Amino acid sequence: MDRGRRSKIKELMEGEMMEDMKESFEESERRSFEEMERYREELKAEFMKVVNEHPEAIANFQDYYKYLFTFTTEIDGKRWAFSVGGHADEIYKFNVQPIMLVKEILNVLDLEDVLK
């Protein structure tokens, strides 16, 4: 087999291997994203359950960034951070206070994200 032909075969094999690696990486990335989204949804559901069990829970305002208000609260010894809002037309209807009831916040703005 001459060098040119060997080189072409090597090129084709490397191209196929790269394509396989790329597909494998994309599949892994997609699965990781789906798992992360599932975890976020489970965390939101857990947070909402805890909030419903403790309607007197108080939240402290922490931050505002790109139409999101972030608050922190501690319920049953667990510290939570949650973001609400996300839309310019919604947040201007909301009167932010340094300390608020979690239920009050969630009655006005949509829950966007939760961290525990």
pLDDT at 90 exceeding the cut of 60: yes
pLDDT of the residue at 4 = 66
SS3 of 114, please?
strand
Residue 69 clears pLDDT 60, i.e. is over it: yes
With cut-offs at 50, 70 and 90, classify the pLDDT of residue 86: confident
Q: Is the pLDDT score of 67 beyond 80?
A: yes
Does the structure show a pLDDT above 60 at 77?
yes
Please, what is the average pLDDT of the chain?
83
pLDDT tens for 16-60 read: 666 666 676 677 777 788 888 899 899 999 999 999 999 999 999
Nearest to 56 by CA among 44, 74, 69, 68: 74
For residue 15, what is the DSSP state? H
What is the percent of the chain where pLDDT is above 90? 37
Q: What is the 3-state secondary structure (H, E, C) of 23-89?
A: HHHHHHHHHHHHHHHHHHHHHHHHHHHHHHHCCCCEEEEEEEECCEEEEEEEECCEEEEEEEECCHH
